[in-house]
Structure 1
Amino acid sequence: MAEAMRAGATLEIRGLNVYYGGSHALQGVDLTLGKGVLSVVGRNGMGKTTLCKSIMGLVHSASGSIRFNGQELRGRSPADIARLGIGYVPQGRRLWRSLSVDEHLRMVSSGHGGDWSIERIYSTFPRLGERKNNGGGQLSGGEQQMLAIARALLLNPKLLVMDEPTEGLAPVIVSQVEDMLHRLGEEGNIDVLVIEQNIGVATAVADQVAIMVNGRINRLIDSGQLSGDRDLQQRLLGVGRHAHDETPDVETPKPREADGAHGPRPQKVYVSNPAMPTRWSKPVPVRVLENAARTISPVPSARLEGGVQADLRPLSAPGESVVLVAGTLDTKGPELRYIRDIIRDAGLPVRMVDLSTSGAHSGAEIPANQIAAFHPRGASGVFTSDRGESVAGMTLAFERWIARQTGIGGIIGAGGSGGTAMIAPAMRTLPIGIPKMIISTVASGNTSQYVGPSDITMMYSVADVQGLNSITRTVLRNGANALAGMVRGRKEFESQAAKTAVAGLPAIGLTMFGVTTPCVQQVTQMLDDDYDCLVFHATGIGGQSMEKLIDSGLISAVLDITTTEICDMMVGGVFPATQDRFGAIIRKRMPYVGSCGALDMVNFNAPETVP
C-alpha cells in the first residue's frame, strides 16, 4: 500500500514557461516531488520565487503543466489552490502588523481540522507562546518566520511550499527551522518543497536537491554529493555551504572612469534643522535630513538604493497584452479589485498597479515601491512626510514607469480628484488607440486638464468612489465591461487587419477653424483618393492632439492651414497652443506646409474677459 502511494507524485511540473514581458523567467521547468522533502537551490534571479508563485497561481504561466496529486493547477485561482491542500510560506513573511500572534493563528485555524492545532504550534514553537499577545510588527525576524510557518501548518496542508524560510535568520533560529523540516519529512503527512539559498539547510533536510540555473532545472543531485563538493557549490551556485559571506567574491579592479561619465550628480540643498530648534532639541537624524533635502538638478535615471538601476519588469509574454487596473489600493482597494475581477471574468489578463503613498503592502502585481523607483530621486522622492509632495512624486513616477512599458492592452482607473490627477498624466503618454478609462467624481465637469490631447474615456461615478454599494457597483461594472469590450474589439480589428494585410492610405494632418473651413474642405476633397485626411479643430487641444499622433508615428505629413492657436498663446486667449506647438513636426522631420490661417483673431469668453 505504501509503495503504491509513493508511486504517485505529489507535485509534477512539466514544461513550465513564465514570461515577464520579453523576459523568459521560467524556461521549460521540469520538476517532480514524489514524497517527503525536496530542496531547490540557485542564485538570486534564477526564477525560484517565480516557480513558487506559479505553483500558487500568483503569476500567470504561458504554457506547461503543474499537477498536484493528479489535479491540474494552472488556471485555478490562489484560493482554489490553497483549498486543494497546498500551504505557502512566502518570502518576506507577509504578516499583519496589527494582529497579535494568537489572532493570526485563530484566524487561520478556524474550520481546518487535522494534526496541526494551535496547541501543537505553541508546543513546536515555544517562543510564539511567550509572544502570543504581541502584534506582528513587534516580533523579531525569527519570530515572524515562525509565525509565517505556523500559519501555513494550521491549514493542515498536504503540500507545503516554502520560499527561503531561513533568509535573514539567526543561526539558532535556522537550526529550529531545520529540525522542524526534519520532523515533517519523518512524519510523512506533509510533503515539502523548500526553496533555499542556505546550502547547509537545503542538503540537510532533503535527500535530493534540484539546482536552478537561468530559469531551468539544471540537474537533480544527491544532497550528500552536493554537501561534500565545495567546488561544485562554487561552480553552480557561487556560494559557500552556509552563507554568502563565507566565500566572498573577489572584485576585479576596474579602471577609474572619468568624472561625469555617468552624467551630473544630483545637487541637493540640505536644511540642518527642518524645524525651529530649541535648547532642548535633539540632533536631527540623517534620514530626516535626506527626506527634507531639495534636489535642484535632475537625476538622469531612476535608481534604487545602492545605485542599482530601477528594475523594469515586463508585464506579459512577447506578443501578448494585459489590462492594467491602476489606483490607490490603500483607499480604493475593494473598488479596484471589483473592477479587476470583472475584467478577469471577461477572459482578459489583468494586472493591478498600486499608486498608494502610504507604504502599506497591497498584494498588487505591480506594487507601489516598484513604481516609486522610477521617480528621478527614487523612492525617497515619493514616500515623504508631506502628502502633497508624495502624490506629486507618485504621479511623476507612474508617468515615467508607464512610458517604458510594452504589452499594455488597456488601462482603467477609478478615484476622486486626487486619484484622477495621479492616473491621467500616465494615460496621456500612451499611444492613441490603446483603450483608456477613468471612472471619477470629476468626470461631469471640465475634464480638459485630465484628458488633454489623448483619447481617455471618462465616466462619472455618480456616487463617490468610496465603498461598494448598489450605485458604485453598477457604475464600476459598466466601466469595466466597457473597457473589456474596447480591448477585445481592438484585438479583433488588429487580427483581421493582419489577415487581410491591406495597406492603409498614408495619413495627413490638417488644422481647421471657422474662417479656414472652406479651404480645408476643398483641400480634403482633392487629397481624399490618395491620403487619409485627419482634420483637427484648432482649439488648443486640437493642435496638441495632432502633435500627439505625430509623435506616435500615425501621421506622415501636415498641412497646417490654421495656426490661430499661436495668437491665443501670445495674447492670452482661451484656445492657446503650448510652447511645443511645432515640436513634434521638427522631431519627426516630416513634410510640412504651414499657413497663416486665422492669425488675425484671438478667442475670448464673455466680453468682460477681453483685456
Structure 2
Amino acid sequence: MEETRRILVIGTGDTKADELLFMRERIEAVGGIAVMMDVSVLGDPPYRPEHDRHAVAHAADTTIKAIIASGDENTAMTLMALGAARLARSLHDRGEIDGVIALGGSMGTDLALDVALALPLGVPKFVVSTIAYSHLLPPERIATDLMMILWAGGLYGLNSACEAVLSQACGAVVGAARAVVKPDEARPRIGMSSLGKSCLQYMVTLKPELEKRGYEVIVFHTTGMGGRALEAIAAQKGFVAVLDFSLQELANQLTGSVVNSGTDRLENAGRQGIPQIVAPGAIDMVDFPTWQAVPARFTERPYHAHNRLLASVTSDGATRKEIARAIGDKLAAATGPTAFILPAGGIQQWDQEGEPLYEPEALSAFVEEMRASVPENAELHEIAGHINDAAFCDKALEIFDRWVAEGIVPPGRRQAA
C-alpha cells in the first residue's frame, strides 16, 4: 500500500480555527495525515496542534512573551516566520513531513513565503492566500516550485466559496506529495539561462555537449520567474556551475520593468562561490506587459508585441552602458571563479545586420563599456562574432573544460550505456 503522506498545515489557529480544521478534515479525507503548526501570537487555538506557537517561538530562539513585547505586529510575525521556517526545515530533514500548505492573508502569506523558501525543490509547497499572484509579492520571496491559489471568500469564516478553494488546495498538496519525482542528484547539475531558441540558440549546442560530459543541464527561461528559479537554486548551492548567458531580466529590473527576477539577479552563484560563466545575452531588450502602455522612456524605441502578455522594446546606447556597469558590479562581488564572454558581434538574434533590431552604434557603446566594466576577479573572453555563432559555444566549452581539468568544476558522471 502506498505510504500515507504527511502534510504540514500552517496557520493562525486563534483566528482561523474553522478553516484550518476543515483543511485537516479534507487532507485526511483524501488519505493524507495533517500535521498542524500554529503560528498564532496572542492566543491559543481551540485544538491541540502537533507544533504549537511556543515551539515556533523556540525555533526562533525566543519566547511568545518576548515576541508579544517585540514592538508591533510586523516584528512579531517576522519572528514567527523565522521560527516557522526553521521548524519546517527541521521536520523535513528528519523525514517527518512530505509537503506543506499554509493559509493566510497578507500577514500569513508573508510568513508562508519564508517557510516555502526554507524547503528544497521537490517538497510540495502550497499557499492559500488572499493576495495570491499579487504584485505585492516580490520575485525574490517566491520559492522555485511554489504553488498558490486565491483564497476566495476567505476574509471571515467558512462559506461555500471558501470551502471549494480550501478543498482543492488540500487535494492538490496531498496529490503532489504522492506524485512528486524529486530531483535526481546522480549527475552534477549545471544551471543555464536562455530565452526561446529563436532569440538565443547556444543551448541547442551546449546542452547535449555538457550531457555527454556527464552533467545534467537545467535551462531556465529568463522571462522573470525563470531567472528567479535559477537564483533560488543557486542560493541553496544546487549547481556545480552556472552558465548565465541570458541577462535580460537584469536589464528589465534596472529599467523598472515588472518582468524581472528581483534585485539579486546575477548574484547568488557568485555569493555561494559557484563557478560561473556569464554572457550578456539579450540585455538590449526590455520587456513589459503588452496590456500596459509603453513606458514613457521607450515610446520612441522599436517595439514588438510577442503575445497578449509580453511585449519588448530595445534600449538605447546610454541605457546599455548603464547595464554594462551593473553587470560589472555584480561580477565584482563574486567569491568563486568567474568568466565573462563578450560577443562583440551581437547579443541576440535580431541585432545583426539586416535584422529589425540592428543598432550598431548602441551595440558598440555597450561593448566598449562592458570591456571596461569586467572586474579584475573575472576572466574576460571577447569574441568577434555573435552570441549565436558556433564560436561562442566553442569558447564556453573551452572555459568549462579547462575548469574541469583544473578541478574548479567537479567531473561529470557519465551514465552507463
TM-score, structure 1 as length reference: 0.42
Q: 1:372 corresponds to which letter in structure 2?
A: A
* Cα distance in 2, alignment partners of residues 358 and 609 from structure 1: 48
Identify which of 29, 32, 35 aligns with 1:348. 32
Larger Rg: 1
Cα 1:521–1:399, aligned 2, differ >3 Å: closer, same or farther?
same
Q: Output one character per residue of 1:42-75: Cα deviation in whole Å (capped at 9) or x when no partner.
A: xxxxxxxxxxxxxxxxxxxxxxxxxxxxxxxxxx
Q: 2:148 corresponds to which letter in structure 1?
A: M
Q: Does 1:488 align with 2:178?
A: yes
Identify which of 397, 403, 422 aligns with 2:83. 397
Match of 2:250 in 1: 566
Secondary structure of 1:331 counterpart: coil
After TM superposition, give the deviation of residue 379 of structure 1 in Å.
3.4
After TM superposition, give the deviation of residue 422 of structure 1 in Å.
2.3
After TM superposition, give the deviation of residue 591 of structure 1 in Å.
3.7
Q: Does 1:432 align with 2:116?
A: no
* Cα distance in 1, alignment partners of residues 165 and 42 from structure 2: 27
After TM superposition, give the deviation of residue 504 of structure 1 in Å.
4.8
Identify which of 499, 504, 518 aligns with 2:201. 518
After TM superposition, give the deviation of residue 467 of structure 1 in Å.
2.5
Match of 2:57 in 1: 372
Q: Tell whether the 8 Å contact from 2:9 to 2:37 is kept in structure 1 after alignment.
A: yes
Secondary structure of 1:517 counterpart: coil
Q: Tell whether the 8 Å contact from 2:144 to 2:233 is kept in structure 1 after alignment.
A: no
After TM superposition, give the deviation of residue 431 of structure 1 in Å.
0.7
* Cα distance in 2, alignment partners of residues 452 and 523 from structure 1: 29
Q: Output one character per residue of 1:239-287: Cα deviation in whole Å (capped at 9) or x when no partner.
A: xxxxxxxxxxxxxxxxxxxxxxxxxxxxxxxxxxxxxxxxxxxxxxxxx
After TM superposition, give the deviation of residue 355 of structure 1 in Å.
1.0
Match of 2:13 in 1: 329
* Cα distance in 2, alignment partners of residues 579 and 463 from structure 1: 34
Gaps (5+ residues) in structure 2? Answer: 299-417
Secondary structure of 1:359 counterpart: coil
Cα 1:583–1:401, aligned 2, differ >3 Å: closer, same or farther?
farther
Cα 1:374–1:610, aligned 2, differ >3 Å: closer, same or farther?
farther
* Cα distance in 2, alignment partners of residues 388 and 585 from structure 1: 31
Cα 1:578–1:482, aligned 2, differ >3 Å: closer, same or farther?
closer
RMSD after superposition: 3.3
Match of 2:67 in 1: 382
Q: Output one character per residue of 1:6-38: Cα deviation in whole Å (capped at 9) or x when no partner.
A: xxxxxxxxxxxxxxxxxxxxxxxxxxxxxxxxx
* Cα distance in 2, alignment partners of residues 325 and 516 from structure 1: 43
* Cα distance in 1, alignment partners of residues 222 and 185 from structure 2: 29
After superposition, residues 192-591 of structure 1 pair within 5 angstroms as 322-362=6-46, 363-375=48-60, 378-384=63-69, 386-405=72-91, 406=93, 407=95, 408-443=97-132, 445-446=134-135, 448-449=137-138, 452-464=142-154, 466-490=156-180, 493=181, 504-513=186-195, 516-529=199-212, 530-578=214-262, 580-586=264-270, 588-591=272-275
Calculate percent identity across the aligned residue pairs: 29
After superposition, residues 84-95 of structure 1 pair within 5 angstroms as none
Cα 1:458–1:376, aligned 2, differ >3 Å: closer, same or farther?
same
* Cα distance in 2, alignment partners of residues 609 and 372 from structure 1: 48
* Cα distance in 1, alignment partners of residues 74 and 261 from structure 2: 28
* Cα distance in 1, alignment partners of residues 112 and 250 from structure 2: 29
After TM superposition, give the deviation of residue 412 of structure 1 in Å.
0.5
Q: Tell whether the 8 Å contact from 1:604 to 1:610 is kept in structure 2 after alignment.
A: no
How many residues in Structure 1 have an aligned counterpart in Structure 2?
A: 285
Q: 2:204 corresponds to which letter in structure 1?
A: Q
Gaps (5+ residues) in structure 1? Answer: 1-318
* Cα distance in 2, alignment partners of residues 331 and 518 from structure 1: 53
